[in-house]
Amino acid sequence: MSFIEKIGYFAISLAKSFTDIFFFAGIILRRMLRRKTYSSAMRTVLVNQIYFTSVQILPVFLVVSIIFGSLLIGIVFQLLKGLGLTEFFGNVLMGLIVTELSPFFTVLLITLRSGSAINTEIAVMKVNGEIKTLETFRIDVIDYLLVPRVINGVASLVLLSSLFSVVLMFSGILFSNIIFGIGIDAYTNILLNSANFSDIVIALLKCAIFGFFATVIPIRSGLSASNELTSIPIAVSGGMVNVFTAIMIIEVLSLITKLF
Amino acid sequence: MTHNVQAATVSVDLPLISNQEVWMNISLIKQYHENMPLAQAHDIAIAALQRLGLEHIAFKRNPSLNNEERFGVMLLRAVMVRDAIVIIDRPFKIIPHLNKINFFLDTLKKIEDFYINCHIYDYKWMEERYGELCP
C-alpha cells in the first residue's frame, strides 16, 4: 500500500467511524425524546446509573475538587497579582476556570471512571449473550440498557461540573481574601459583574454534549465487540481513544464559538 | 381483554443478566412488558422465588448460583412473560449432572399456574433421560 493509499484508507475509515457514531447518536437522541422509552424498568436502571456515576463518586470528586480547585485558584490569583491584573480576576475566574476548566476536568474524571466501565460492561454483556437474552425476551436494548446510561452521562456531567464550579468559587473567597485582601461582599459583587449569561449557557451545553458523547461512544464501542472474549480489550481501548478524541474536538469547537 | 400467547425460552444460551440480582432478573419482565412499578414487580419476584423455595438467593447474582438455582431463576423469568408458553431448550445442558427429568418436572409442577403450556426440546440421543415422557 502506497503512502497516498494509506492516507486515503485512513480518511475513509475516519469518515466511516464519524458517520457511524453520529448515526448511532441520532438513534439514541430520538429515543431519549420518546415518552414510551421511560418505562418502569428503564427508570430503575436510570436511578441505579445515577447512583453509580454521580453519587458514589461524590466523596472522591469533592476531595479532588477542593485540592485541585484551591491550588489552581491560588496559583491563578497569585499570577494575576504578579502581573498587576488584579481587577481582572473575576473575568478569569468566570470566563476561564468556571466555564472552561470545570467541564473539562469533570468529563475527564467521568470518562476515566464511568466511560471505561460502561464500555467494558456492554462488551461483556455482548460476549456473554446477555444482549441476545434481552432481545429474546422482547426487551428493547436501546430503551432499557443504553438510553438510561446516556441520560445519566448528561445529567452527571452537568451536575458534577456545576459542583466543581461551586467548589472553585468557594475556594476563591478564601484566596481572594488572602492574596488580594478582598471581603466576601466585594468578591461576590466582582463575580456577579463578571458572569456572562451566554458563557454559562455555553458551558452547560458543553457539559451536556460532553456527557452525551462520553457515554454514547463507549456504548457503541462495547456493542462492536464480537462473541469472543479477546474482543473485549480491543473494544474498550478503541472506545476510550475515540472518547478522548471526541472530548478534544468538542473542546476545540466550544473555544471557536467563544471566539466569535 | 385478550392477550397473545408468547413464547418464553429457558436456555443455556440465554443467560441471566449478570450485573443484576436474581429478583431483578425476574421482575424485569413485568416491569418492562407491563410497565409495573418496581415495588410491585419486586414482590411478585420474591413470591415466585418462594414457590420454588429459592427466596434465599433473591439478592445473589448469576455467578454465585448453582445449576439448580440458575435453572429455577431462568424458569421464573420465563413464566413472568404474560400468557407464556415456556420452551425449555436442552434442560440437561443447564444442569448437566442430572440423569433423570424428574427435577425439571417437579419444578414445573410447583409453578404450573404461572404458564399456559410447556415444551421441552432436546436431542434424540438424550431420550433415555426422559423416561416415560419419551415412549
Total structural domains within chain B: 1
CATH number for the domain that contains residue B54:
3.40.50.300
Arithmetic mean of pLDDT over chain B: 91
Kindly determine whether residue A133 and residue B38, on different chains, have CB atoms separated by under 8 Å: no
Contact assessment for residue A94 and residue A88, using Cβ atoms and an 8 Å cutoff: no
B1: in domain: no
Q: Is A40 on the interface with B (CB under 8 A)?
A: yes
Calculate the CA dihedral of residues A42, A45, A47, A52 and round it to 10 degrees: -160
Contact A245, A212 (CB under 8 A): no
| A139 inside 8 A of chain B by CB | yes
Burial A144-171 (b: 16+ CB within 10 A, else e): bbbbbbbbbbbbbbbbbbbbbbebbbeb
Q: Where is average pLDDT lowest: A211-220, B69-78, B117-126? A: B117-126
Across the interface, do A41 and B31 touch by the CB < 8 Å criterion? yes
So where are chain A's domains? 38-259
pLDDT band, residue B1 (cuts 50/70/90): very low
A138 lies within 8 A of chain B by CB: yes
Residue B92 included in any domain: yes
Instruction: In whole angstroms, give the CA distance from residue A88 to residue A24.
Output: 43
Tell me B16's DSSP state: P
**Helical H segments across A83-196, by residue range:** 89-91, 102-110, 116-128, 130-136, 141, 147-175, 184-194
Task: Specify the amino acid at residue B106.
Answer: D
The Cα–Cα gap between A100 and A250 comes to 12
Q: Please give the angle made by the CA atoms of A233, A235 and A240, to the nearest 5 degrees.
A: 95
Name, in order, each residue with C-beta under 8 angstroms of B41's C-beta and a sequence gap of 6 or more: A40, B27, B28, B30, B31
* Distance (Å, whole) CA A67 – CA A64: 5
Closest CA to A126 of A207, A215, A51, A226: A226
Q: Which three cell numbers stand for residue B95?
A: 444442569
Do residue B37 and residue A40 have CB atoms under 8 angstroms apart? yes
Compute mean pLDDT per 10 residues along chain A, 260 residues long, and list them.
Answer: 88 90 94 92 93 89 86 84 82 82 90 91 94 94 95 94 89 81 82 81 90 94 90 91 91 83
Of A97, A110, A123, nearest to A200 by C-alpha is: A97
pLDDT reported for residue A222: 93
Would you call A35 an interface residue with chain B, using a CB distance cutoff of 8 Å?
no
Are the beta carbons of B10 and B94 closer than 8 angstroms?
A: yes
| Cβ atoms of B120 and B92 closer than 8 Å | no
Length of chain B (residues)? 135
Instruction: Give the chain B residue nearest A48 (alpha carbons).
Output: B20
Domain that holds residue B122: 6-133
- On chain B, the residues whose CB falls within 8 A of the CB of A142 are none
How many helices (H) and strands (E) in chain A? 12, 0
For testing contact with chain A, the best of B14, B40, B89 (most A CBs within 10 A): B14
Distance CA A97, CA A103 (A): 9
Q: Does the distance separating the beta carbons of B14 and A40 come in below 8 Å?
A: no
The per-residue pLDDT for range B9-57, each reduced to its tens digit, is 999 999 999 989 999 999 999 999 999 999 999 999 999 999 999 999 9
ipTM at complex level? 0.90
Q: Which of B26, B30, B31, B79 to mutate to test the interface with A (most CBs of A within 10 A)?
A: B31
The helix/strand/coil state of B89 is strand
Task: Let me know if residue B13 belongs to a domain.
Answer: yes
8 A C-beta contact, residue B57 and residue B69: yes
- Strand B84-89 and strand B117-121: pairing? parallel
Q: How far is CA A96 from the centre of its chain?
A: 17
Instruction: Report the residue of A40, A125, A232 to disrupt the B interface, i.e. the one with the largest count of B CBs within 10 Å.
Output: A40
Separation of alpha carbons A129 and B122, rounded Å: 21
CA distance A148 to B39: 19
The B6-10 sheet, strands edge to edge? B6-10, B84-89, B117-121
Please, which residues have CB within 8 angstroms of residue A206's CB and are 6 or more apart in sequence?
A: A103, A250, A254
Q: Find the largest Cα–Cα distance for chain A.
A: 68
Helix (H, G, I), strand (E, B) or coil at A56: coil
